Amino acid sequence: MNRNRTLLTSLVLGLISLMVALLGGTHLQHLIDNGSVFAHGGGRHLGETVVLIVLALGLLAGSVWTCQRERQSGG
């Protein structure tokens, strides 16, 4: 795999992870502002928050894995 393409892929995955983490934080702030998980759609916010945080962690792990694989291949 081309080194530039690998680094670009890693950068894009890292930026997407950052954006998803920020969205998760926004939903988490809605939960804190509501004061209750189940009040006025709070359960929906909880589900969205969990999904966004899991996506962010998965994307971050993919980015780190790509960088480590590139480093191990000697590129």
What value does the mean pLDDT take over residues 18-43? 70
Domain count, the chain: 1
Q: What span, in angstroms and rounded, lies between the C-alpha atoms of 70 and 75?
A: 6
Tokens of 28: 């988490």
Q: What span, in angstroms and rounded, lies between the C-alpha atoms of 41 and 56?
A: 23
For 45-73, the pLDDT digits (tens) are 677 777 777 888 888 888 888 778 877 87
Cα 61 to its chain centre, rounded Å, is 9
SS3 content of the chain, % helix, strand, coil (to 5): 85, 0, 15
Q: Give residue 24's domain range.
A: 3-72
Tokens of 36: 């209750």
- pTM over 0.75? The answer is no
